[in-house]
């Protein structure tokens, strides 16, 4: 059920609004006289307001004495050089999983660039992602190795 449309003219709205606001005034309470600010103490020197950071503890620079060179720490970790990926030792499931994930990424990038594909290609990309992810996850090591668990203190 629709409400009835108002049959008044726009000029009548303006007249009614003018009548409503004709007697309206803003009442401002009497404001107390402002107090005179206290005079600054003569012992404090006047400073430029833009120099507020000069005495701030976060911006104060105190030079520390240089520490004498100590011998190299025996427990210091040095990162070994990176070795190239041994492509010949990769298993077939790992290569297939990587290829399926690559297919998914390529289809996604082409769709983002505005290329349109038939619906089966989209389903194939989703299936390739799920299958490739599953294949790559099966290639992870399970359990603990004797290689250690990382850095030791």
Among 75-79, 93-97, 104-108, name the one with the lowest average pLDDT. Answer: 75-79
Predicted TM-score (pTM) of this structure: 0.41
Sorted by sequence, the CB contacts under 8 Å of residue 136 that are 6+ apart come out as 94, 97, 98, 101
Cβ atoms within 10 Å of 99's Cβ, excluding its own: 13
What percent of the chain stands above pLDDT 70?
73
pLDDT at residue 83, rounded to an integer: 86
Q: Which residue has the higher pLDDT, 111 or 142?
A: 111
Indicate if the pLDDT at residue 76 is higher than 70.
yes
pLDDT at res. 127: 97
Q: Which of the listed ranges 16-30, 74-88, 121-135 does the model predict with the highest average pLDDT?
A: 121-135
CB atoms within 10 A of CB 58: 5
């Amino acid at each position: 059920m629709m409400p009835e449309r108002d049959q008044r003219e726009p000029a009548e709205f303006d007249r009614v609004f003018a009548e409503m606001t004709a007697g309206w005034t803003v009442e401002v309470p009497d404001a107390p006289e402002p107090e005179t600010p206290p005079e600054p103490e003569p012992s404090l020197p006047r400073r430029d307001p833009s120099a507020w950071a000069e005495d701030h503890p976060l911006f104060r620079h105190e030079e520390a004495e240089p520490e004498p060179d100590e011998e190299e720490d025996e427990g210091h970790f040095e990162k070994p050089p990176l070795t190239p990926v041994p492509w010949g030792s990769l298993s077939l499931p790992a290569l297939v999983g990587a290829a399926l994930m690559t297919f998914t990424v390529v289809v996604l990038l082409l769709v983002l660039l505005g290329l349109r594909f038939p619906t089966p290609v989209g389903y194939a990309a989703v299936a390739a992602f799920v299958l490739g992810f599953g294949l790559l996850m099966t290639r992870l090591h399970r359990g603990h190795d004797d290689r250690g668990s990382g850095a030791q203190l």
